């Protein structure tokens, strides 16, 4: 498992959830049946990662963490059945006393009597499922990771622009909504215009969701509230989208230095995850939607390993070095006009794109 994933799991910001969440229809494929411990359905699950308490039944309790779902498979039951009755009773009692969230017995195995009794005594919910342990673990972990994912609600818009999840930020009144509307008009898809719920998933994935209640509505000053889905049709919206790029619309401040080359490589942090960040200064006469669209296209190119700014800059630097080495500082390509040179640059870049191996930054 990668370091990223470890860090994600150590994160304390998981949203705790009650054991009864496991009764969600989303897990209906496991057909979890509650055997006992209904009083304990309000116990909290603290981490999405489940455990198999096999070694704990053998007497090694160290790694049993409170607030986890414990999966009981054939090996656990088989082992317990192999123990002398008194020892079996002690081990079951000890494990049940470790403040676990709940037990899930897999493969339709009949949990042994001592087990059911201890769960009842400690008010620990005990579920049964016919699914195999591996399936149960995968399904419950996935479900809990999503349900308990760290989250934040932010003021901003989220759009799918050429498949790029683009989070649009900016102060109130800077023109976010008009920009989002313009992007929808150009055929891109709106997730949310005003409020985005963002959840952090494993592997640095941030997923933005629209709000069910106000979904795909937009407020336009002077017109009021409109429904993008009704006005533009079903293909103009989507309910969620992973975020790839953050664009912030900023009021143009005289004297502020904005990135001119595109090499600044700024990032934006959300829920501990950093995403590429572009600051777009807003001034009258700038076509914001066009600029945002271009930012998305440029990001697509970078994803494919081609960084225009880096490429051009390295070409210029090579040329400077070459001229410096020749020592002939008066070298002039007099016959070559600026526009010819531009053409040359374009041709070369196309050529290099075919030749150069994929570069990743």
Partner 1 sequence: MPASKDIPIINKLGLHARAAAKLVHTAARFSSDIKLRKGTEEVDAKSILGILLLAAAKGTTVTITAVGSDEQEALDSIERLILGRFDEVE
- Residues forming contacts to partner 1 in the complex (CB under 8 A) are 255, 257, 260-261, 263, 312-313, 316-317, 319-321, 323-324, 327, 329-330, 332, 334, 338, 341
How near is the Cβ of 170 to partner 1 at its closest, in Å?
23
CB closer to partner 1 out of 290 and 331: 331
Question: Annotated catalytic sites, by residue?
Answer: 155, 176, 194, 260
CB closer to partner 1 out of 221 and 361: 361
Q: Where are the alpha helices (DSSP H) in the chain?
A: 3-10, 54-57, 74-82, 85-96, 113-122, 133-147, 176-185, 228-232, 288-303, 308-326, 338-355
CB closer to partner 1 out of 203 and 335: 335
CB closer to partner 1 out of 49 and 279: 279
How near is the Cβ of 354 to partner 1 at its closest, in Å?
23
Nearest to 292 by CA among 198, 217, 207, 188: 188
CB < 8 Å & 24+ apart, contacts of 265-273: 265/361, 270/152, 270/154, 270/198, 270/200, 270/206, 270/243, 270/246, 271/13, 271/150, 271/151, 271/152, 271/198, 271/200, 271/206, 272/11, 272/13, 272/150, 272/200, 273/200, 273/204, 273/205, 273/206
**Alpha carbons 167 and 46: distance in angstroms, whole number:** 30
**Alpha carbons 288 and 282: distance in angstroms, whole number:** 7
How near is the Cβ of 224 to partner 1 at its closest, in Å?
40
How near is the Cβ of 251 to partner 1 at its closest, in Å?
17
Q: Where are the alpha helices (DSSP H) in 159-268?
A: 176-185, 228-232
How near is the Cβ of 153 to partner 1 at its closest, in Å?
37
Cα–Cα distance list, 334 to 273, 331, 337, 343, 344 (Å): 50, 9, 7, 16, 15
How near is the Cβ of 318 to partner 1 at its closest, in Å?
9
CB closer to partner 1 out of 240 and 345: 345
The pair of structure tokens assigned to 105 is 């017995």
**Alpha carbons 146 and 149: distance in angstroms, whole number:** 5
CB closer to partner 1 out of 223 and 333: 333
């Amino acid at each position: 498992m990668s370091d990223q994933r470890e860090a994600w799991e150590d994160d304390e910001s998981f949203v705790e959830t009650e054991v009864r969440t496991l009764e969600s229809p989303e897990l209906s494929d496991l057909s979890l049946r509650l055997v006992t411990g209904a009083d304990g359905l309000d116990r909290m699950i603290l981490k999405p990662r489940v455990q198999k308490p096999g070694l704990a039944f053998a007497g090694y309790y160290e790694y049993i963490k409170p607030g986890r779902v414990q999966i009981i498979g054939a090996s656990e039951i088989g082992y317990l059945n192999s123990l002398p009755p008194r020892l079996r009773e002690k081990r079951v009692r000890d494990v049940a006393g470790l403040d676990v969230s709940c037990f899930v017995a897999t493969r339709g195995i009949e949990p042994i009597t001592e087990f059911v009794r201890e769960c009842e005594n400690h008010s620990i919910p005990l579920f049964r499922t016919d699914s195999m342990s591996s399936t149960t673990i995968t399904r419950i972990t996935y479900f809990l990771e999503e349900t308990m994912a760290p989250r934040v609600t932010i003021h901003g818009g989220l759009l799918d622009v050429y498949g790029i999840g683009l989070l649009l930020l900016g102060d109130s009144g800077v023109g976010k909504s008009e920009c989002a509307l313009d992007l929808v008009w150009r055929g891109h898809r709106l997730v949310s215009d005003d409020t985005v719920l963002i959840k952090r998933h494993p592997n640095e994935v941030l997923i933005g969701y629209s709000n069910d209640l106000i979904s795909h509505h937009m407020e336009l000053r002077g017109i009021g509230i409109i429904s993008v889905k009704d006005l533009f049709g079903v293909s103009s919206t989507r309910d969620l989208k992973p975020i790839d790029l953050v664009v912030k619309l900023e009021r143009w401040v005289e004297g502020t230095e904005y990135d001119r080359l595109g090499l600044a490589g700024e990032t934006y942090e959300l829920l501990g995850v950093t995403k590429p960040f572009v600051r777009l200064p807003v001034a009258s006469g700038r076509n914001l939607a066009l600029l945002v669209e271009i930012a998305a296209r440029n990001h697509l190119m970078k994803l494919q390993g081609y960084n225009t700014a880096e490429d051009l800059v390295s070409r210029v630097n090579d040329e400077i070095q070459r001229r410096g080495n020749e020592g002939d500082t008066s070298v002039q390509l007099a016959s070559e006009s600026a526009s010819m040179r531009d053409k040359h640059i374009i041709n070369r870049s196309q050529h290099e794109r075919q030749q150069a191996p994929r570069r990743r930054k």
